[in-house]
Amino acid sequence: MLHCKDASVPAYSPFNFAIKPDAVIDNELGFIMLGASQYGDELGVTGDGILAAVTFKIVRAPPSNSSLFCNIAFHQEDTYLNDPDMNPISFISVIGFYEYSWSSVNLLAHGIVADNKAFTVVTESNCTLTPVPMNFNFKELSFNATSVSDEVGYVNVTVLKSFMWGDFIIKVDGRQQSFTISSNITCTFLYFEFLFTVPNQKIVISAEFVVAEYPFGPVMLAMLLVTTFVVLSLNFHKNKR
């Protein structure tokens, strides 16, 4: 859910002493070890203040319309203050709290006309999606996604099986994404998450099969009419001779 990226004693901390070993960060076991000390005739500190500034990165998003949360607490047995004689100094630690909740959901229906029929693609997302014209030649359904850098975005896509079917591939700015797929009798549901490395990214969903952009019958009829016209023209010129 959270990974620590950095931990340090900030310059404004009352514990910004000369001796500050580098922080030990272990995201596997889930702990950060950090400290500061001073020796000699330097005066100590009195009052309260920030011991350390810790930067976390969100690495997991909660399911749609829910949240993830946890306490961020000091490990009491391993957190201590000592005076110059190494006697313990009493202190009160404050437990932090972290919560990640989805922002408002954008639910949109996108209309696409193919084979003289109107198809609807439904998207649910926490980012802003703008549809890009369907590329029938490459069987690609695309959207431009907009959000804030370093945010985790999610998209739920519902497509009719009569519109797109077979194997699917999803890419965000050219990077292939893992996704979950489910279906019912009429629809296929695709769900995936991705990180906004930049505020604007392009989502491309390609399918093994898509419905034809133009109906087969009228296209064949048009080809036959053109062929008939060419034959009649040739016969006309031939008879004219």
> Per-residue pLDDT tens for 11-58?
878 888 888 888 888 888 878 888 888 776 666 677 677 777 888 877
Q: Among 47, 71, 101, where does a domain finish? A: 101
For residues 84 and 127, membership in a common domain is answered with no
* pLDDT tens digit sequence for 207-218: 999 998 765 444
Determine phi and psi for 230, rounding to 5 degrees: -65, -45
Give dist(CA 71, CA 188) in Å, integer. Answer: 38
CA 104 to chain CA centroid, Å, is 15
Tokens of 183: 């279906």
Asked whether residue 26 is assigned to any structural domain, the reply reads: yes
The residues, any chain, with a CB within 8 Å of residue 89's CB and separated by 6 or more, are: 80, 81, 82, 83
Output 165 or 36, whichever has higher pLDDT.
Answer: 165
**How much is the pLDDT for 38?**
78
pLDDT at residue 234 greater than cutoff 80: no
**How much is the pLDDT for 215?**
58
For residues 89 and 165, membership in a common domain is answered with no
Asked whether residue 219 is assigned to any structural domain, the reply reads: no
Give dist(CA 145, CA 126) in Å, integer. Answer: 10
Give dist(CA 49, CA 29) in Å, integer. Answer: 27
pTM of the model: 0.51
Name the residue range of residue 39's domain. 2-101
Q: How many domains does the chain have?
A: 2
**How much is the pLDDT for 171?**
97
| Lowest-pLDDT choice from 18-32, 74-88, 110-124 | 74-88
For residues 93 and 45, membership in a common domain is answered with yes
pLDDT at residue 179 greater than cutoff 80: yes
For residues 112 and 80, membership in a common domain is answered with no
Q: Among 39, 72, 101, where does a domain finish? A: 101
**How much is the pLDDT for 217?**
46
For residues 89 and 129, membership in a common domain is answered with no
Q: What is the DSSP letter of 21?
A: P
For β-strands 175-176 and 180-183, DSSP reports them as: unpaired
Asked whether residue 40 is assigned to any structural domain, the reply reads: yes
- The mean predicted confidence, pLDDT, of the chain is 80
